[in-house]
Chain A
Amino acid sequence: MSLIYRINSLNVIHEVIDGEVVMINLDSGCYYTMNDSGCYLWQLIEQGFDHSQIVSIVAEEFSVSAEEVKHPISIFMNRLLEHGLIVLSDTPALTSPIMVHAKKMSYGPPELIVFEDMRDLLLLDPIHEISEQGWPHVASKN
């Protein structure tokens, strides 16, 4: 049975504008964009296509062989899973998802571009002491 994915909408906010995607993982503080083919795959995931369908659609849309796209797509899906942007789903794929078409471009391996510079904002402050009133402090302050 082909793998089915769904976007991790609990932690991920995302938007596709004119074929460019912006997404933020609220749990990790990472934010992302993708190259053109990555964005196209993202829209196919969003529409509910399963892994096999995605491979077939990408091959047809870009007029390349399924063999050529199969491995890069698997790598890409694993990257999305590793970053918590998608999760595996046991819900059956949609029988008639809405077809999306790639904007005119030549095929390139899908790529996830990761930005980690704001992750520190989500780090927990280490609590060093608790006041008599019950409020925690990071450290003693004079």
Chain B
Amino acid sequence: MLTSLTALNAKEYFSSVIAAFECAVKATSDIRRYYRLGPGVLCLRYAGEALVTPLSTAFSHLEIAPCLPSLMIHCWDSISTETPMPPPPWPSTAYGARGHIIGYNDEVIRTVYQPGNDILQMYNSIEHTGIYWMQHLHLLPYWEKSFPMRNLIHWWSKSQPLQLVHAAAVGTNKGGVLLTGKSGSGKSTTALTCLNSPLQYAGDDYVMISNKPDPFVYSLYNSAKLVFDKVGVLPYMEGKLSNPNALSGEKALFFLHQHYPKKLNTGFPIKAIFLPRVTNKSKTALRPATAAEALFALAPTTVLHLEGDSKNAFDKMGHFVKSAATFWIDLGSDLEEIPHVINEFLESSYD
């Protein structure tokens, strides 16, 4: 491992990486894309074209004209820009769980590097600036394309009345439901059944919630993922996969903006939190859940997938579940009925 005797501290290293990014821009081009980020604005600044499509497609439904960003993320790779990354200043013993770099996380700077996918993410909470770097695009895992930069958005949201959560959301401008539960609970299937209904889609895996003034959800990603054998039960999704040649090791990945642009909604008030549960019955039914059951479905899977700021996130989620109605949705085998049940609930809640 290359480390100098006087290792850079977190702030110094962050600055050196930004300087390297500017070199990469000089060597290629300066590309900026702007997106809604909840009530704020996200600017993805790229050095060259290589990462634009892989990292921007999931945000494409939120693209807006250039304006002052609330969060700017510098995205680049070393191979296409032919610009080396400053070597890590931390020792090989500094790699913790979920890529946490011990000694390079404090109140100002956040750092994760996952040896499993070779992506470095850093965030400066004073400048609201992030870094997203990888050695080479071919190391980018497919799932990262479905929810790119989730840790950076999570860190940014710490100082906002917002929280990234592991949940899906469907509804209309008048209101919708948050669907939460761990992987395999039926979130994605439920959300995708709504594409053939009056309901719109705000996300199937990660969305952003707000408590102020009332429960609200913002869309972040227009992607959807399904285990491949589920695609057959949603025939309208066939032929829309973005990764048809990689399904032996990947879930089917869709970008709905390319196929259902009018079915995407950027955000709506939350009328209830639904906790999906797959049953062996044919009918789909709602039954009351407690706020604690909703927090139990939402919080562990969210905080254990995201790095840091867990207490703050947990408190926001606790407040959120207490301010919304909560229900189990027992999913029946008749998938066409699912959006009807949700829509019927929402129609009755609009009064």
Interface residues, chain A, with chain B CB atoms under 8 Å away: 13, 15-18, 20-22, 24, 26, 29, 31, 33, 115, 117-118, 121-125, 127, 130-131, 133-138, 141
CB within 8 A of A138: which of B115, B293, B311? B115
Report whether A13 and B290 are in contact in the complex, using a CB–CB cutoff of 8 Å.
Answer: no
Report whether B115 and A136 are in contact in the complex, using a CB–CB cutoff of 8 Å.
Answer: yes
CB within 8 A of A125: which of B87, B116, B291, B310? B116
Centre residue among A24, A33, A117 by max chain B CB count within 10 A: A24
Report whether B304 and A24 are in contact in the complex, using a CB–CB cutoff of 8 Å.
Answer: yes
Q: Is B277 an interface residue (CB 8 A)?
A: no
Across-interface contacts of A122 in B (CB, < 8 A): 97-98, 304
**Shortest distance in angstroms between A137's beta carbon and chain B's nearest beta carbon?**
6
Q: How many residues of B contact A (CB 8 A)?
A: 43
Report whether B299 and A124 are in contact in the complex, using a CB–CB cutoff of 8 Å.
Answer: no
Interface residues, chain B, with chain A CB atoms under 8 Å away: 1-3, 78, 84-85, 87-88, 92, 95-99, 113-116, 118, 120, 135, 138-139, 182, 290-293, 295-296, 299-301, 303-305, 310-311, 314-315, 318, 321-322
Report whether B291 and A134 are in contact in the complex, using a CB–CB cutoff of 8 Å.
Answer: no
Across-interface contacts of A18 in B (CB, < 8 A): 290-292
Across-interface contacts of A29 in B (CB, < 8 A): 304
Across-interface contacts of A22 in B (CB, < 8 A): 292, 295-296, 299
CB within 8 A of B84: which of A17, A127, A133, A141? A133
Report whether A13 and B311 are in contact in the complex, using a CB–CB cutoff of 8 Å.
Answer: yes
Across-interface contacts of B95 in A (CB, < 8 A): 124-125, 127, 136
Once bound together, how far apart are the Cα atoms of A115 and B310, in whole Å? 18
Across-interface contacts of B290 in A (CB, < 8 A): 17-18, 20
Can you offer 21 A-B residue contacts whose CB atoms are under 8 A? A13-B314, A15-B315, A17-B321, A24-B299, A24-B300, A24-B310, A26-B304, A122-B98, A124-B97, A125-B115, A125-B116, A131-B135, A134-B2, A134-B3, A135-B85, A135-B87, A135-B88, A135-B113, A136-B95, A136-B113, A136-B115
